Structure 1
Amino acid sequence: MAKRAGGKAAGGTPATVALTAAGVAFVARPYDHDPSAKSYGLEAAQALGVEPARVFKTLLADVDGTLAVGVVPVSAQLDLKALAGVLGAKKASMADPAAAERSTGYVVGGISPIGQRKQLATVVDESALAHGTVLVSGGRRGFDIELAPADLVRVTGARTGAIAR
């Protein structure tokens, strides 16, 4: 997999800058985003010709009063109870979109698990580890990043667990 050099030239997002700074190999995967798409993740999978099980969405949850990140395949839903369990918490609910945007510095539909404004506890669904590469948002709508799942886990400081249903 080719490493994109130069951070800003590789997509111009905090995610690409963070990956470049960490020396992580990735491929920028831009596509034409349709603002009327009902599912940004499924749109990305279709536009990029990638099976939905390899394209992961970034969801923010309120876990016992603290924001946390769940990264699950676009073909699945985040199991909030499982996310709370992996993080040793009692309960979780979906975060307010405005709070998610303030915390991450990204807009909903373009939230990347990488290069967020504030480092949050992150859990990547363990199914990611079954793939050679996975795709996650690159930090804006219409822009994904392809990288090895182990690199995703490492660069985000994530735990892995069965958090998709």
Structure 2
Amino acid sequence: MAYTERASVVKVREALEERGVEAELVELEETARSAREAAAALGRRVEQIVKSLVFRGKRSGRPLLVLAGGANRVDEKRVSALFGEELEKADADFVRGETGFSIGGVPPVIPGGQPPTILDEDLLEEDEVWAAAGHTHVVFGLHPEELLRITGAKAARVSRR
């Protein structure tokens, strides 16, 4: 079975289409579990890779999504302030249960209900960004302003400078 035929990838393609985006899904021979792996597989700069990081709100218990630039390390205190609550690390079971996707394949668009989302403002400096499409071997590219629109995210600085 091709990666793009897997149920998780089909869900992402449908979620993109529902939001008016006809992105080409690209199957990679190599895994793209990390931003560096994705950049190398695509022949792109790591700054063009979107890391979809799921946290758990400490007070609310709800999922909180950070779309970070591949080269950036998220400043959890800064992001906590942006979300208005402390963050906890989300384990693999929480991520899969809340998003329907495994860590490394979490897309920026979550079918069935987009969690509160913050987009790293550094991504807006790129002409094109690449994100996971529901599997560690499938990605899609789009303009970062389009990503901001389809996720309903708030753009903000998520890393220290």
Common topology (TM > 0.5):
yes
Shift of 1:43: 0.7
Shift of 1:27: 2.9
* CA distance in 2: counterparts of 1:116 and 1:95, whole angstroms: 19
The alignment covers a number of residue pairs equal to 154
Map 1:142-157; keep pairs closer than 5 Å: 142-157=137-152
Number of the residue aligned with 1:32:
29
Q: TM-score, normalised by structure 1?
A: 0.83
Q: Deviations over 1:121-165 (max 9, x none)?
A: 011100111111111111111111101111111111111111134
SS in 2 for 1:119: coil
* CA distance in 2: counterparts of 1:27 and 1:79, whole angstroms: 32
Shift of 1:95: 1.1
Number of the residue aligned with 2:88:
93
Identity over aligned residues, as a percent?
25
Cα RMSD for the two superposed structures: 2.2
* CA distance in 2: counterparts of 1:108 and 1:134, whole angstroms: 19
CA contact (8 A) 1:103 1:118 kept: no
* CA distance in 2: counterparts of 1:73 and 1:96, whole angstroms: 21
Evaluate the alpha carbon distance shift between residue 24 and residue 8 of structure 1 in structure 2; reply closer, same or farther with a 3 A threshold. farther
Number of the residue aligned with 1:76:
72
CA contact (8 A) 1:123 1:158 kept: yes
Shift of 1:25: 4.1
CA contact (8 A) 1:103 1:116 kept: no
Number of the residue aligned with 1:4:
none
Number of the residue aligned with 1:21:
18
Number of the residue aligned with 1:62:
56
2:40 matched to 1:46? Answer: yes
Q: TM-score, normalised by structure 2?
A: 0.85
Letter in 2 for 1:55: I
CA contact (8 A) 1:29 1:48 kept: no
CA contact (8 A) 1:55 1:135 kept: yes
CA contact (8 A) 1:105 1:117 kept: no
Evaluate the alpha carbon distance shift between residue 25 and residue 87 of structure 1 in structure 2; reply closer, same or farther with a 3 A threshold. same
* CA distance in 2: counterparts of 1:97 and 1:164, whole angstroms: 23
Letter in 2 for 1:47: A
Unaligned stretches of 5+ residues in structure 1: 1-6
Q: Deviations over 1:46-94 (max 9, x none)?
A: 01000000101111111233210011122222211111111222x1122
